[in-house]
Amino acid sequence: MMLKAFLPKSEQRYAALGAVIGALFPAVCIFYHAVIADAGGGWGSGILTISLVSLIVMPLVCGMFFYQRGRAQSCLLDELEQRRKTEENLSRIVHTDQLTGVANRVALERDLCELLVTGSVPAGRTALLMLDLDRFKFVNDSMGHDTGDALLVALGRRLIQAMSGLGAVYRMGGDEFVIVVAGSPSEGKLDDICVTIKGLFAEPFQLSSAQFWTGGSIGVAYMEPEDQTISAVLKRADLALYKAKEIAGNSHMVYAPEMADEATRKGEIEYDLSRALAAGEFYLEYQPIVGIESRAIRSFEALIRWHHPDKGIIPPDHFIAAAEKTGLILPIGNWVLRTACLEAARWPAPTGIAVNVAGDQFKDRAFVPHVKACLAEAGLAPGRLTIEVTESIFLADADIIEESLRELRAHGVRIALDGFGIGFSSINNLRRFPLDQLKLDRSFTQTMLGNQRDAEIVDIILQLGNTFQVSTTIEGIETEGQMEFVRALGASEAQGCLISRPVSAEGAIAILQREPQRTVERSFG
């Protein structure tokens, strides 16, 4: 330590060592001459002089030689150290998410691969939690990508702090994060961790000088000893996450084998959808909508059905989500609209037709021209067509939706808000968007006679309809008691199995022919 203090550089220490070694040889010669050679009279004064000169020269020569060697080694060590630091920096860059500062997918794959290669996955299993933000697309679309990035950074900080000592945090990309809980965590511990993560959304995020509330869904899966690749555990976690997102609000789900079976069935549905339209496997049924006071038919709602060659009749709630996911909702929705308009043109005026339209259809700039083209082709008056939408389409691209709705309404097409009262319902939507009709979800109809709260909700929604001067349709009417209840509250129209089950296009014509005197009624608005 003292030597380093006096000679801090390695090449200086090498030079000192060389000088010592260089002085050692002539010193031995002098010692030999003085003690041994002189005693025997063997060495002359010339050799002694040379030895003395060597005592001065050799330390300088050896010192310089060792100095050069030390300097070369020092440069090599410096270069190696620099390379080590560069490799560490590159490794940190490669394994760190540059936006949030947490470990990235590459780091996750590296760490999980180490567990698989070393065979250190215990019988109790390491757990992997996949977290996905709610409404993240809405943040990016409505508030900008900079705000979305700020949300991810803030969430990353909260996760790192909350998971300290519990698990390692990684960002997969987009709005997906993964937490790996090593060891053999019990189900109770994982539940507690999920509760902790969901608790991070209890406080709003400060974004762009405004507070933003959001939530998250979590899919939980275990690493199994038989896993050969990390894609297996990631797929299980993703399937659990998909199920968790089907539950409203913050939620988490643990993977179960039946989720894989369900995913396989959905995959088959998606594959079959790609050929179903061209194969002519879709058809429409029509359910009457009547005026509550007169029971006269005012319109029909078009309902899509799928006649699968192997699986039989598939209801829409089993394939519409798949159609939206694959983008097939656009051609399928266009087919429904065109077919419904052509069928409705065969009915006596002013009997109307109502068609459900998905949000992705409105995002297509060709949608409004397609509606007009269908009306023109069928020779159907625009006022006989009602476009039904749900409030979920207002959560993103609201400006595009509003523009399309106003253009359709200006053309004479009626607009109905379907499924009102469930999910995300906002009175502001009734103020902002051009609407002619509210359709109360059937879930309230089923419970309103036995649940005072739901009965009051039905009454409030009907009053909202009167306030905004739009007609109200009650879906799911199955008994005379339900019909009389909503009639007393002032509902305009009713739809349900009490009136008629969905029928074919020919069946709709038959119903209208049986009651020709009632088909002249027109919806309010």
Residue 494's H or E segment, with its range, is strand 493-495
pLDDT, residue 517, reads 47
pLDDT, residue 305, reads 95
How far, in Å, CA of 177 to CA of 131, rounded?
5
For range 159-173, the mean pLDDT: 92
- The residue type of 492 is S
Does pTM top 0.95 for this prediction? no
- Where do we find the tokens 């998905």? 358
Q: Which residue has the higher pLDDT, 302 or 99?
A: 302
What's the token pair of residue 4? 């380093």
E strands, 242-383, in order: 251-254, 282-291, 297-308, 312-314, 352-356
pLDDT, residue 523, reads 43
| Contact present, 401 and 357 (Cβ < 8 Å) | no
pLDDT higher than 50, residue 269: yes
pLDDT higher than 50, residue 520: no
How far, in Å, CA of 39 to CA of 423, rounded?
114
Helices (H), 364-518: 367-378, 398-410, 427-432, 442-447, 452-467, 480-489, 505-514
Say which residues have a Cβ less than 8 Å from residue 80's Cβ, sequence separation at least 6: none
Give the domains, in start order, of the chain with CATH numbers.
2-94 (no CATH), 103-255 (3.30.70.270), 284-518 (3.20.20.450)
Going by DSSP bridges, is the β-strand pair 210-212/103-104 parallel, antiparallel, or unpaired?
A: unpaired
Q: What are the tens digits of pLDDT across the range 313-361?
A: 988 988 998 898 888 999 999 999 999 999 999 999 899 999 999 888 8
Residue 524: band (very low, low, confident or very high) from pLDDT cuts 50, 70, 90: very low
Query: What is the distance in angstroms between the CA of the first residue and the CA of the last residue of the chain?
Result: 95
Which residue in 96, 92, 113 sits closest to 105, CA to CA?
Answer: 96
pLDDT higher than 90, residue 227: no
| Contact present, 300 and 289 (Cβ < 8 Å) | yes
Among the residue ranges 102-111, 120-129, 505-514, the one predicted with the least confidence is 120-129
- Grouping H, G, I as helix, E, B as strand and the rest as coil, residue 165 is coil
| Contact present, 221 and 255 (Cβ < 8 Å) | yes
% pLDDT > 90, the chain? 37
pLDDT higher than 50, residue 123: no
Q: Across all residues in the chain, what is the average pLDDT?
A: 82
| Contact present, 442 and 408 (Cβ < 8 Å) | no
Which residue in 481, 514, 516, 517 sits closest to 496, CA to CA?
Answer: 481
- Grouping H, G, I as helix, E, B as strand and the rest as coil, residue 100 is coil
pLDDT, residue 177, reads 95
- Pick from 99-103, 273-277, 352-356, 359-363 the range whose average pLDDT is largest: 352-356
Q: What are the tens digits of pLDDT across the range 348-404?
A: 989 999 999 988 888 888 999 999 999 999 999 999 999 999 877 776 567 788 889
For range 417-436, the mean pLDDT: 76
Q: What are the tens digits of pLDDT across the range 234-246?
A: 999 999 998 898 8
Output the CA–CA distances (angstroms, integers) from residue 432 to 266, 406, 435, in the order listed: 37, 11, 9
For range 291-313, the mean pLDDT: 93
How far, in Å, CA of 21 to CA of 60, rounded?
10
Output the CA–CA distances (angstroms, integers) from residue 187 to 126, 265, 367, 422, in the order listed: 11, 28, 49, 33
How far, in Å, CA of 241 to CA of 194, rounded?
12
| Contact present, 492 and 524 (Cβ < 8 Å) | yes
Among the residue ranges 80-94, 195-209, 285-299, the one predicted with the least confidence is 80-94
**CB burial of residue 361 (10 Å; 0-12, 13-18, 19+):** buried
Q: What are the tens digits of pLDDT across the range 478-501?
A: 999 999 999 999 999 999 999 999
What DSSP assignment string belongs to 203-227?
Answer: SPEEETTEEE---EEEEEEE--TT-
Residue 522: band (very low, low, confident or very high) from pLDDT cuts 50, 70, 90: very low
pLDDT higher than 60, residue 202: yes
Other beta carbons within 10 angstroms of residue 165's beta carbon come to 5
| Contact present, 78 and 10 (Cβ < 8 Å) | no
